[in-house]
Structure 1
Amino acid sequence: MRTSTRVLGFVLALVLVLGAGWAAGRWLGPDEESVTAASDHGHEAGAGEAAAGGHGAHGATASAAALGGLQVSEHGHSLTLARSTLPAGRQEVAFTIEGEDGPVTAYDVEHEKELHLVVVRRDLTGFQHVHPTRDADGTWRVDVDLEPGPWRVLADFKPTGGEAHVLGADLFVPGDFEPEPLGEQELAASVDGYDVNLGGSLTAGAATTLTATVSRGGEVVDDLQPYLGATGHLVALRAGDVGYLHVHPEDGAFHTEFPSVGTYRLFLDFKHEGVVRTAAFTVQVDGAGHDHGTHSHENPDENPDENPDENPDENSGGTGSEDGHSHDH
């Protein structure tokens, strides 16, 4: 091979590597100090309502500093991915939780599982809430669906005899990647013929109560089935750094606290007729009190202040399965 040809090939390869690094750098934010959210095991909600309280619970309301998943290591525990780059498609994500004496192999069961894993692309699409299996040596494994782009892997767990943690690590999937915008606030979602409407207060730094009503064919679904020990699971992810809140039913409502103003993507898991489904919402958390009333698909004309040009059905949730489910825009 001629020297000029070898040099040209090296330059092209370097350009491709630098280009991929630049694209990832736009979406891979720095890790930050965080405190794990904590709240009580939830009680079942009534008549089609799903509600909340987070893993490792010590009260119904998470503190303002409770966003988890912002760092890969804290308090002697680290999330270590076996591979930080994977090809697109159905792939196995393998990882360990490293403690001071090596991989952790003993966990407390929280909401029927030793560990809850959220895998989401950094533009908050491709959301999957799954439950890996653990090898005897402490290695966790689970198959997920990956599209090109930067992803965040969030592990929610409590080592036996230790504190609850939510740790996050970055996963990169090479390929053509165009981030999808979150769009405007949307408090209503449709998934598999179900309409889900979210209502409540969205105020930063204050105790927040949210309600979610599930209906089908205009009738409220009043027989939601327990899933992982609760009638509903709500994961909130902050746009920009993918800060994580996970809350569960408590007296028919979701009780939590948003630590800052900004845009959040909320994913609600609920189970009916043996199938777990995920409804997704985009919310704007305000700095001053503002009550976001329930946004109904069935009665869009009830709110005289609503823009008649808006289409509340544009945003629809994804479908899922008993042990893992995803949602894309």
Structure 2
Amino acid sequence: MNTAVKVGAFGAGIVLAFGAAFGVGHAVGPVGSDPAPAHGKHGGDTAGAPVGPNGTRAPGPAGAAPAVAEIPGGLQVSERGYTLVPPAEPLPAGTPTDFRFRVLGPDGQPWTRYDRAHDKDLHLIVARRDLSGFQHIHPVLGADGTWSVPLTFASAGTYRVFADFSPTGDPAGALTLGADVIVAGGYEPVALPAPTRTATVDGYTVSLTGDLSATESGLLTLNVSRDGRPVTDLQPYLGAYGHLVALRQGDLGYLHVHPQGAPGDGKTPAGPGIAFHAQAPSAGNYRLYLDFQHQGTVRTAEFTVAVGAPSTTPAPAAPPATAPEHGEHGH
């Protein structure tokens, strides 16, 4: 093992969400910068305006000083009194495991009441910190408040897990908590693929039109074809024809976007195009993951997209501290 290193805790990186359409937006600068000011609709400043249930402000008077942007989802392991408790021990690579975690409520006890969103009570997003190994899965909640799901980590490394859910009875609505988990073994970082507008998966070709911008919300359309023919009979998956997750290289800034329209609404076609509105918080390289379903199987197409003027050289992986190989236990 010449290039591999033993996996250790890299430490939780700063996770910055990016703004999306449908009234959801976060103005966040490059990693290491001060937070960008929050703005209301049409660019109005929001300082001095009333604070809403999610910590956002309505547009304030003209000329008022801009307010600091609210903390984006996924940045914290604990937020609004809810805490994500992931496995504490290193997990095995290449072996199916019963991945178990809990969400604690404001009283410190396991939270068991959730509002269903997109056909599920909780969405779990998993990705290694070099943006490989992406999975979008849906755990099952036990009576004791423990979530569990069969999960296989293909290779060693530090992974980020995002729990996206809406606690019942919380007027602030949905939130996303994030935490790192360690998969033990020899870690070999994977370079981020070059930006492209075409991805292939299982004989399907997905092409991307539109540009992701850091200055304004833009329309991204992903067109699905198979054997050179447009796919016009996509099947609903979690209440939509497609789900788009984006992660920013370096800090794994997170966004889960749902498309325009809905199956059965009389105006949204079942392909080949799936349209999304999104805005990036800053220049950089982003990895996009599109989940779509056809002929009973869910597939994921992956793209790299450059926003602004990112570096043309993949960011080097920081050497981690030593962690135990699978089978050992360190304390």
Q: TM-score, normalised by structure 2?
A: 0.70
Superposed displacement of residue 84, structure 1: 4.3
Q: Does 2:182 align with 1:176?
A: no
1 CA distance for matches of 2:275 and 2:146?
Answer: 36
Which of residues 10, 27, 47 in structure 2 aligns to 1:64? 27
1 CA distance for matches of 2:75 and 2:139?
Answer: 21
| 1:208 match | 218
| 2:292 match | 270
Superposed displacement of residue 127, structure 1: 0.7
- Is the CA contact 1:119–1:128 (under 8 Å) kept in the aligned structure 2? yes
Superposed displacement of residue 160, structure 1: 0.6
Q: Which amino acid in the other structure matches residue 98 of structure 1?
A: L
**For this pair of structures, how many residues does the alignment match?**
247
CA RMSD of aligned residues (A): 2.2
Distance 1:36 1:114, change over 3 A: farther
Superposed displacement of residue 62, structure 1: 3.6
| 2:138 match | 131
| 1:260 match | 282
Which of residues 278, 286, 306 in structure 1 aligns to 2:308? 286
Superposed displacement of residue 178, structure 1: 0.8
Unpaired stretches in structure 2, ≥5 consecutive residues: 29-70, 262-273, 311-331
| 2:92 match | 87
Superposed displacement of residue 158, structure 1: 0.6
SS in 2 for 1:103: coil
Q: Which amino acid in the other structure matches residue 237 of structure 2?
A: Y
Superposed displacement of residue 183, structure 1: 2.5
| 2:206 match | 196
Output aligned runs, 1:313-324, within 5 Å.
none
Task: Render the CA deviation track for 1:93-152: whole Å, top value 9, x for unaligned.
Answer: 111111112111000000000000011111111111000000011110011111211111
Task: Render the CA deviation track for 1:230-269: whole Å, top value 9, x for unaligned.
Answer: 0000000111111210001114520122111101111000
Determine which structure has the larger helix proportion and give its number: 1
Q: Which amino acid in the other structure matches residue 258 of structure 1?
A: A
2 CA distance for matches of 1:205 and 1:107?
Answer: 35
Comparing 238-247 with 105-114, which one deviates more in the overlay?
A: 238-247
- Is the CA contact 1:83–1:94 (under 8 Å) kept in the aligned structure 2? no
Superposed displacement of residue 287, structure 1: 6.3
Which of residues 83, 93, 96 in structure 1 aligns to 2:102? 96
Q: Which amino acid in the other structure matches residue 287 of structure 2?
A: R
SS in 1 for 2:151: strand
Distance 1:261 1:38, change over 3 A: closer
Q: Which amino acid in the other structure matches residue 283 of structure 2?
A: V
Q: TM-score, normalised by structure 1?
A: 0.70
Unpaired stretches in structure 1, ≥5 consecutive residues: 1-18, 40-58, 289-329
Which of residues 120, 136, 147 in structure 2 aligns to 1:140? 147
SS in 2 for 1:158: strand
Distance 1:83 1:135, change over 3 A: same
Percent identity over the alignment is: 51
1 CA distance for matches of 2:19 and 2:284?
Answer: 19
